[in-house]
Copies of this chain bind each other. A is one copy, B any other.
Amino acid sequence: MPYFSGVITILMHEFSESFLKGYYADKHVLITGGLGFLGSNIANRLVTLGASVVILDSMHPSYGGNEHNIDPINKDNIQVVIGDVRDKALLESLIISTDVIYHFAAQVSYIDSANMPFEDLEVNLVGTLNILELCKHINPSAKILFASSRLVIGVSSNQIINEEHPTHPLSIYGAHKLAAEKYFSIYNHNYGIPTTVLRITNPYGPRQQIKHSKYSIVGWFIRLAMEGKELTIFGDGGQRRNYIYVEDIVDAFIRCGATPRTNGQLYFVGSKENIEFREMTKLVIETVGNGTLRHVPWPSNYEHVETGDVNIDTSKLRKEIGWDPQCSLKEGIIRTVEYYSRHWRYYVNK
């Protein structure tokens, strides 16, 4: 398809490093949840692009914030504010002078959302609504990018999943992510606020919290393997998942933040590979060179949120901004293991 390839080439050129540096150099960027996994990886990238970055993070002890996530950044080049997206007055002071907002502050465990649905509601919906209402009233031209989740979909019935797929979330977390997606669409449609939603599949990579198993199974399995422990697979592990390396996610967000073409849009962000869960597990054990594998039956509290095979179609994002995920799962696991080997003491207690 020469025409299609041509388009891709032009778009890739459009988001060249020099273009992005030119775009972000004079931009004031706010990253909520900026000490967490996505937020800190974006922050590291934005600082290299010359942006003036402010991080807001609650450092909630059971969430993903970690001060070491921004160790590579010279502290003269970044401002870190410890605070909560539920604190509207604080948000107001940050939003008024911002050009681009990456909104990642969230309760991110779908498992916890079952036991603390009100906290999930407060952080993930009230927090999001705080940002949109403030933008509407004091800074309606600020571009806002939001991280949603493939968990808005629910059971996928083995179909290819794109942005048109029905949404039947199986968790309160998924229901609130879906409602938040609608907020962004409504505030774009009704008030012209430039919003972009990226629905992420299964993200993994450096700087993800690995204190417990609830945030990322890849990160958690890497930790277990590095500790020489057993990696437990529920059932036969044949269900396919779409694991996307964080640098590819960062690239999608950075590009989407730099063009009005993505305003009012929602995109799936996922890898080109849909890989069996057991295959991912084997790759982790092989890469680490430690850990063992064990199959057990599905526990009852997981069964009702199991979503079946996930086959994600990311062509919308690839076509519209020339995004092209570069990192294979094998390569991503190698880089992630390497990262945690070097920084183990900052991510695992004791």
Contacts and interface: CB of A to CB of B under 8 A. Distances in A.
Contacts of A171: 186, 190
A170 B183 contact: no
B126 A121 contact: yes
Interface in A264-313: 304-305
A330 to B, nearest CB: 35
Nearest to A118: B129
Interface string A99-130: 00000000000000010011001000110010
A69 interface: no
Interface string A125-150: 11001000100000000000000000
A263 B296 CA distance: 32
B190 A169 contact: no
A182 B164 contact: no
Contacts of A179: 125, 175-176, 178-179, 182
- Most B-side CB within 10 Å, residue of A117, A118, A178, A305: A117
Interface string A171-194: 110111011001101100110000
A15 to B, nearest CB: 28
Contacts of A228: none
A166 interface: yes
Interface residues of A, number: 29
A90 to B, nearest CB: 16
A192 to B, nearest CB: 10
A168 B190 contact: no
Nearest to A152: B182
Contacts of A118: 126, 129, 133
Contacts of A232: none
A239 interface: no
Contact of A305 (B166, B167, B172, B190): B190
A308 B182 CA distance: 19
B304 A189 contact: yes
Contacts of A178: 178-179, 182
Nearest to A171: B186
Nearest to A191: B304
Across chains A and B, which 10 residue pairs bring their CB atoms closest together, nearest first? A175-B182, A179-B179, A190-B304, A175-B179, A169-B182, A117-B129, A175-B183, A189-B304, A175-B186, A170-B186
8 contacts: A114-B190, A117-B133, A118-B126, A121-B121, A121-B125, A169-B182, A170-B190, A175-B179
Interface of A: 114, 117-118, 121, 125-126, 129, 133, 164, 166-172, 174-176, 178-179, 182-183, 185-186, 189-190, 304-305
